[in-house]
Amino acid sequence: MNESPPIKAVATGAAPSGASDEKSAAIAVQHMFNEIAGRYDLLNHVLSANVDRLWWRRTARKFRHILSRPDAAVLDLCCGTGDMALALRRQAPANAQPYVGADFSHQMLRRGSDKFKGRGIVAIEADALQLPFPDGSFDLVVSAFGFRNLANYDAGLREIHRVLRPGGEFGILDFAEPGGLFGKVYTFYFRNVLPKIGGLISGASGAYEYLPASVKRFPAPQQMQDEMRDVGFTEVSWTRYTFGIAGLYRGRKATSKS
């Protein structure tokens, strides 16, 4: 039998070292990702043994029923250097309207913009907690390994809910803490080995010490799903990837009542 994840105290949002409130937390996260942007892709692939590519493809396939529509409006939120946006775009028909990749890290978005050229993706520098889009702008919002870094999770969910059209869907792909014996081995690697490798390659040890701390702080799957329901999402679910190292949260915005 699979071991249930431990119950965690509910966290309001990311809390990098030295941050005292939501504003300082957001500034610290922004600075951190600007600092590691140049080595971000390399480290993702090295530290995950390229499994991250599989996670992006698998997530994109989950939303093929939306992505196959030429008129679908799609947002990759906290898009970073753009790999999730590109995976989504590969599921789209040739005549699909442009997708949007949004992030508040200027340096990460610069690298994403280079990848987006000629791929039907528009890069927009924006704060996930104050998106510059009208209500009901998108049929699909996806965030891969970015939502966990928001300074306020509830506010992030509410903003996603706001910009989705009635009946629209969202997905959050992010790390989790696996249970059982495998979980103990992986947790040791994740908390003790990965930060050293990440710091050595990137030259920014603080960012890779923050990573396991942020995963530990992030709500457990059941708690996260409860928060999603509280915001108003329906058909809420969580699907584990690779023994629970990561997982995909999904939800739908209810259609308007007639």
**pLDDT tens across 187-233, in order?**
999 899 988 888 887 787 788 888 889 999 999 999 999 999 999 99
124 within domain boundaries: yes
For residue 24, give the amino acid letter: S
Please give the pLDDT value at position 8: 52
248 pairs with which residues across the strands?
A: 173, 239
Answer whether 67's CB lies under 8 Å from 51's CB: no
26: containing domain = 22-33+49-176+220-253
191 within domain boundaries: no
CATH number, domain with residue 72: 3.40.50.150
| pTM for the full predicted model | 0.91
Residue labelled with tokens 């599921």: 91
Q: What is the pLDDT of residues 90-139, one digit of tens each?
A: 999 999 999 999 999 999 999 999 999 999 999 999 999 999 999 999 99
Total domains present in the chain: 1
76 within domain boundaries: yes
202 within domain boundaries: no
Strand-pair category, 246-253 with 164-175: antiparallel
5 pLDDT exceeds 90? Answer: no
Please give the pLDDT value at position 2: 44
10 pLDDT exceeds 70? Answer: no
246 within domain boundaries: yes
82 within domain boundaries: yes
155 within domain boundaries: yes
207 within domain boundaries: no
